[in-house]
Structure 1
Amino acid sequence: MEGGKVGNSWFIGFSFLCALVLMVYPLPIDWRWLRPELLCLLAIYWVLRFPQLLGVGMAFLLGLVQDIVQGSLWGQHALALVVTIYITQLTIHRLRTYGTLQQLMWVFLLVFMHELFLYWVSMLLGREALFSYFWAPAVISALLWPLLCHALDKLCWVLRVGV
């Protein structure tokens, strides 16, 4: 990588676009609480892979786009994603050395904290939400983490992202 540039960085933007589409893909009402927090997972993955490319500023913009796409309170996802990415950046060296199970647990904590922030904002707005509506996405996201990492690592190798 020369001068901090990442080859084929279009793929990173495309992955975020796909995550946004999947975040609003219609699901039956009973299944909506099982939807993983894909944008948050991708942001964590790309920060671990290319910390020079995605920072808190980009996380804020991605969160604002998610707020717009999902029709939620402006800044709700943005601030939750900023806090999540900031903590990821603080612990990046430790997180990179963790094994799969340890990473899975850490990602669970990061996404749980992200969901807890969203739940807190919803409660401040007077919206009622069940407890399972914010811990279930964290569990599903954490279980999805190893699969997502493996798939994106393979795609990055094939598309030569970062070369």
Structure 2
Amino acid sequence: MSAHIASGRWVVWATFFVGAMFQVMPLPELAEVWRPDWLVLVMIYWAMALPHRYSVLTAFTLGLFLDVLLGATLGVRALALSLVVYIVVLHSMRFRNFPRWQQSLMVASLIFLYHFVIFWAQYAIVGDSEFVIDLFLPSISCVAVWWWLFWVLRNLRRSYGVK
């Protein structure tokens, strides 16, 4: 394995780590309900940019890590993130050709699906969740974050030659 390919993988896993740290970063109580799903957004970007390398298995692993990190029911976020990334990988070429505003709407719908699957799994399977509209507010905040995050991750990918 060449050092060039290894450095590219290092950059991707570093962005996953930073996304996980942003995911658990303390926020004021008012802003907590609007918290973007940083790790999910980073995973969506890499699944869209490099679907042959970062796909459902990576998403499942990161979802399990996120479940452990947040102290949630094991496998709930892994299931939700795997489903979202499967859709992204399936339509990655189409998503890449969308303009940014359409990409951000697709990301909002994927984040909505992510939170719906988490709610469904906790309510229907585990039975310890109740529906509140605040569950879907991160879908709105992720639209604004996507524009900036896409630009940052694309520039990182190009400057480090991640392939």
Q: Normalised by the size of structure 1, how large is the TM-score?
A: 0.89
Counterpart AA for 2:76: Q
Residue 128, structure 1, aligned to residue 130, structure 2: yes
Q: CA deviation at 1:11?
A: 0.8
Q: Which runs of 5+ in 1 are unaligned?
A: none
Q: CA deviation at 1:149?
A: 0.7
The aligned residue for residue 58 of structure 2 is 58
The aligned residue for residue 70 of structure 2 is 70
Q: Number of matched residues?
A: 158
- Greater share of helix: 2
Counterpart AA for 1:11: V
The aligned residue for residue 98 of structure 2 is 98
Q: CA deviation at 1:18?
A: 0.9
Please list the CA deviations of residues 61-116 of structure 1 after superposition, one character each: whole Å capped at 9, or x if unmatched: 01000000000000010000010011111111211111111111111111110011
- In 2, Cα distance between the equivalents of 1:57 and 1:8? 19
CA 1:53/1:61 → structure 2, altered by over 3 Å: closer, same or farther? same
The percentage of counterpart residues that share the same residue type is 28
The aligned residue for residue 143 of structure 2 is 142
Q: Normalised by the size of structure 2, how large is the TM-score?
A: 0.89
Q: Which runs of 5+ in 2 are unaligned?
A: none
Cα contact 2:119–2:129 (8 A) shared by 1 = no
Cα contact 1:63–1:75 (8 A) shared by 2 = yes
Q: How does 1:1-163 map to 2 (within 5 A)?
A: 7-124=7-124, 125-132=127-134, 134-162=135-163
